[in-house]
Amino acid sequence: MTPRPVAPGGASPSGLVVVLGALVVVVAFASTTITWASEGLARADVLVVFALLIAVGEFLRFTLPGERDAAPIGTAMGLAMALVPDIGGQAPGYDTATVVVVVTVGTAVGVLPHTVAGRGPRAEVLARRLLAVTLAALLFRTLPWPGVGTLEDLAPGWDDDRYLVAIVLLLVALAASAFDAVVAAVVRAGRDHSPLRPALTDEVRAGLGISAAIAATGVLIALAARPMDLIALPVFAVPLLITQFAFRRYAAVRSTYRQTIRSLARLTEIGGYTETRHSQRVGALAVAMGRDLGLSESDLLDLEYAALLHDIGQLSLTDPIPGGATVVAAAVDQRRIAELGAEIVRQAGVLDTVATIVERQADPYRRARLHDVAGDLEVPLASRVIKVANAYDDLVGDSGQMSPQSDALERIHLGMAFEYDPRVVTALTRVLARRSFDAARG
């Protein structure tokens, strides 16, 4: 792992994406103004229908798990507009700049109500989507491929082999989706201070399903517009609407699940076993450290649940440990709490990974190796993270002041290499440094 700077320096990737998107919009508006002034509009109805449907699609935007903004219908319509070779037997008669203008206008109209209500999407998300559609339009309509010219001019020559058109459109749409995923990963890695490769894997994994549906629907609409004219647009958006509904329900239950675990993690606090907000603080710290260590999104979710529930075993104790600070409790008590907690979590039958993480949270990093215990020698990384995060929070407590912070770090450093994994402690140091940097910056 290459060392990463504690604080980001220079321009952030998300800022770059927004600037690039804005640049594309300005150029496109300028270019279309000139074209429309000299040549007029070929088919205004096509542009209006696309803009309307993109607006509807953007209005129906929702949030996928992992705080990913999605507007499947808007994106699919944008792709269809970029890629349609033929509408009702005629060439569509617009260029890439027109696509950019229509997508921008449609998106602006669709997003407006959300922005007014104060829950508009981030500018970077909109810019990223626009850039992906622009890329598709450029590849299909503008870029002269060596020896053959643009793909748009090439398509009518394949009238006897229409499936070739389908394959070409699909490849272009996939290229646009891949671009979208890469940009999203770069932005996310920059924002979360995590390595790029796991961020990229996460984006691809999270987007594989919905992106494939969007790309395929965009291509399908583009192909169906030839025999069906503009009616193909709304009619073939309906199936994607149903898919979107399923995703919405999925995203909703995921977020409820998460909120519920966060809430029920407070059981130990309300029961007087732990300090107020201890579980939440350990959860947030553990997730920040896990990101820094490059854990994948699903591993991070397990880590978060395990960190939130790490003290749940105390519910099985008759008497609370004074102050709830498990780091000062006897090692045997710590292990007992860990085991009881794992037992409770394992009862759910669906969180076995989380249960294992909770179970091993009290194990010293080196114990297994020193004593040559049989079985699983390696303490799970997530357990090692929770051990450090929990110790830090127990030592610093609610105060969050500077001096106990450094005292706590020092105590943890003393236990490093036996109790605590040095790599995890380094991650904690980086996370804390970033926090104080952010605090200093305001």
Contact letters for other proteins, residues 203-242 (x by CB under 8 A)? ------xx-xx-xxx-xx--xx-xxxx-xx--xx-xxxxx
Nearer to other proteins, 33 or 263 (CB): 263
Q: Closest distance between other proteins and the C-beta of residue 116, in Å?
A: 17
Q: Is 145 in the site for other proteins (CB under 8 A)?
A: no
Look at residue 420 and give its three-state secondary structure: strand
CA distances from 70 to 19, 59, 67, 244 (A): 21, 11, 9, 9
Query: How far does CA 97 lie from the centroid of its chain?
Result: 30
Q: Which is nearer to other proteins, 182 or 344 (CB)?
A: 344
Q: How many CA atoms lie within 13 A of 347 on its CB side?
A: 8
Could you say whether residue 350 binds other proteins (CB under 8 A)? yes
Q: How many residues does the chain have?
A: 442
- Which one of the spans 34-42, 292-300, 308-316, 416-424 is the region binding other proteins (CB under 8 A)? 308-316
Structure tokens at 277: 């907000």
Residue 273: helix, strand or coil by DSSP?
Answer: coil
Residue 127 or 215: the one with the smaller Cβ distance to other proteins is 215
Query: Binding to other proteins by residue 249, rule CB under 8 A?
Result: yes
Query: Using the rule CB under 8 A, is 331 a contact of other proteins?
Result: no
Q: Considering only 54-62, 141-149, 186-194, 245-253, which stretch makes contact with other proteins by CB under 8 A?
A: 245-253
CB of 265 to other proteins, least distance (A): 9
Beta carbon of residue 185, minimum distance to other proteins (angstroms, whole number): 21
Give the binding range for other proteins (CB under 8 A) out of 19-27, 263-271, 361-369, 421-429: 263-271
Q: What would the two tokens of residue 293 be?
A: 């260590």
Residues 6 or more apart whose CB falls under 8 angstroms from that of 299 comprise: 290, 382
Q: Which stretch binds other proteins (CB under 8 A): 126-134, 344-352, 364-372, 431-439?
A: 344-352
Closest CA to 136 of 222, 62, 243: 222
β-pair partners for 288: none
CB atoms under 10 Å from CB of 249, counted, come to 10
Residues 6+ apart with CB under 8 A from 86: 92, 155, 156, 225, 226
Answer for the pair 294, 426: CB distance below 8 angstroms, yes or no: no
Binding positions for other proteins, rule: CB under 8 A: 88-89, 162-163, 165-167, 170, 209-210, 212-213, 215-217, 219-220, 223-224, 226-229, 231-232, 235-236, 238-243, 246-247, 249-250, 252-257, 259-264, 266-267, 270-272, 312, 315-319, 344-345, 347-351
